[in-house]
Chain A
Amino acid sequence: MTARTNPWVLSAPALAVYATFLVVPMALVFLISFFDFQFYGGMQATFTWKNYIEIFSDGYYYEIYARTFGVAAAVTLACLVLGTAEAYVLSRMANPWKGLFLMVVLGPLLISVVVRTLGWALLFGSTGLINKALMGIGIISTPIDLMYSNLGVAIALTHVLVPFMVISVWASLQRINPATEAAALSLGASQFTVIRRVIVPQVMPGILSGAIMVFAMAASSFATPAIIGGRRLKNVATAAYDEFLNTLNWPLGAALAVVLLVATVVVLLSANRIIERRYGAVFNQAGG
């Protein structure tokens, strides 16, 4: 256990576990995504592009991917605006309020997504509390059905994912020298100008890395779309789940998953690249 011990020897146990239980299963998914599926014969070990062609040509799957990435983009935008603003407000609070509210915002991350989504199902559905409240303050005149709607899924997902955005921006804000803000104010800048010209540019790496994280998690979310979206409004994850456990068409389910994986990894890696190139020095400090 000294510095002289070969690092590969020390990493060997973890590497062995990863090689057996991560690399092999992932390779299998890629492999079966090229298999054929017969309604009566089950899975056929051949090589075919059939599943991918079906995904890219069938309007049904196009709709699923469009819904998945559309909802993910809307959720990312909502989290970006709400999370950044809340992190900024939190950073300007004094203790004990700062500590307390940080706990209130981050605490829900420790509660299972299923439970948090159930809360939204209760608010949207049976009790109709949201509609009563909105009609009470006169925003809407007729009840809107948020259960089984894309808007409902987006609202619940924003709730589930916005804490990640807050953390990411918060970590960046901690590294800002408060003197920069004071200097801008003393030189006559308005509060709005300070936020736009001094604060936001400095926390940009935190905003962007938070947004990428939120987008990737929203695009691959399962529990919230399954509970709020229901059977009709499928996204990629719930569609793959149905192919695997209900239709039993594993090759098609695997192909759906592979396309999602590739899209996610490409977005994550290229966004990281861009951030690192533009904000290299800042980003390395802010990475947490």
Chain B
Amino acid sequence: MQFRNGPIGLVFHTLFILFILAPIVMVCAVAFTSEGFISLPSGGLSLRWFRAILDNPRFVDAFWFSLGLGTLSATLAIGLAVPSALAIARNRFRGREALVAFFLSPLMIPHVVLGLAFLKFFTTVDLAGTYFGLVVAHVILVMPYALRLVLASAAGIDPALERAAQSLGASNWTAFRRVVLPLLLPGVVSGWVIAFITSFDELTMSIFIASPSTTTLPVRIFLHIEDTIDPLVTAVSAVLIYVTIIAIFILDRVVGLEKLFVGKGR
């Protein structure tokens, strides 16, 4: 049964999509201005402000820094999430529900609270402003996202498959590596991706614990905007939007956007 949308639905839909796209298109448009101030390009498009980014290594450096931080913290979070997800998905034990709730608890804590908790903690143990501190904070932040997707994948694995492999003579390790791990892979991949994106885009917690030498790209952009909104920061944001659009197409092909967000790893 295929339903169709009436005219009211389609008008609403058009306005909604305009609302969603307006600010994003705006950033992309203003970035092409040839003026020295915020304005829509009038006398033709100019790449002036995109070239200016290259003369401002602070933004380029922050981009690479965020890329590295996201990769490292997503990988560490997956490393912690996989054994925990297997333990939770394949056993019924006392405290199981509490364990899941504990692992997912950072989702309920406002990022500003996490930020000042880490700032106070790192100052106390003399880790303030260090790369190690920032990585640890990001691991805690992204771990629930990683765990949720790995858990969904792990819950879907039939334990009989592993027993079958063992009864056919596979060692425990072989059965895990050749049977369980491949079945877990979709959850691991989508979990890693959402963890990476969460870390890469995070501002509120990072701004408390970032030091001049550990500044992520969102923090750099935010501090610049707080100071002044100029075509330069607009161009940086526009580049970020283009990169994300490319990533969205790739992700939609490889993982499926809907699965990534709706949270079912199948």
Interface residues in chain A, defined as those with a beta carbon under 8 Å from any beta carbon in chain B:
1-3, 5, 7-11, 13-14, 17-18, 21-22, 24-26, 28-29, 32, 82, 85-86, 88-90, 92-94, 101-123, 125-127, 129, 156, 159, 162-163, 167, 170-171, 178-179, 181-182, 191, 216, 219-220, 222-223, 226-227, 236-237, 240-241, 244-245, 250, 253-254, 257-258, 260-261, 264-265, 268, 288
Contact = CB atoms under 8 A, between A and B. Distances in A.
29 contacts: A1-B86, A2-B166, A2-B176, A10-B87, A14-B81, A14-B83, A14-B103, A18-B140, A21-B139, A22-B106, A28-B120, A85-B12, A86-B13, A88-B9, A94-B2, A105-B20, A112-B201, A115-B240, A119-B26, A119-B237, A120-B23, A121-B229, A122-B27, A159-B19, A159-B23, A222-B204, A237-B112, A250-B116, A265-B108
Interface string B23-58: 111110010000001111000000000000000000
Contacts of B197: 110
A261 B113 contact: yes
Contact of B240 (A3, A17, A90, A111): A111
Given A126-B37, A254-B116, A92 B24 contact: no
Contact of B221 (A17, A24, A112, A257): A112
Contacts, number: 273
A10 B112 contact: no
Interface of B: 1-6, 9-10, 12-13, 16-17, 19-27, 30, 37-40, 79-81, 83-84, 86-88, 90-91, 93, 96, 99, 102-103, 105-106, 108-114, 116-121, 124, 136-137, 139-140, 143, 159, 162, 166, 172-173, 175-176, 180, 197, 200-201, 203-204, 207-208, 217-218, 221-222, 225-226, 229, 233-234, 237, 240-241, 244-245, 247-248, 251-252, 257-258, 261-264
6 tightest A-B contacts by CB?
A119-B23, A220-B110, A7-B87, A10-B87, A25-B121, A25-B117
Given A89-B12, A260-B113, A123 B26 contact: yes
Contacts of B5: 89, 92-93
A240 B17 contact: no
A114 B203 CA distance: 8
A29 B226 contact: no
B116 A107 contact: no
Where chain B touches its partner, the secondary structure class is: helix
A118 B229 contact: yes
Contacts of B106: 22
A12 B248 CA distance: 35
Contact of A115 (B79, B120, B241, B245): B241
Given A22-B140, A237-B111, 14 more contacts: A13-B84, A14-B83, A86-B13, A92-B5, A106-B258, A111-B244, A118-B23, A118-B27, A118-B225, A118-B229, A127-B39, A159-B20, A222-B112, A223-B204
A75 to B, nearest CB: 14
B222 A223 contact: yes
Specify which of B10, B26, B99, B221 lies most central, judged by the most chain A CB atoms within 10 Å of its CB. Answer: B26
B218 to A, nearest CB: 5
A244 B203 contact: no
A253 B234 contact: no
Contacts of B218: 112-114, 223
B208 A244 contact: yes
A110 B1 contact: no
A169 B242 CA distance: 28
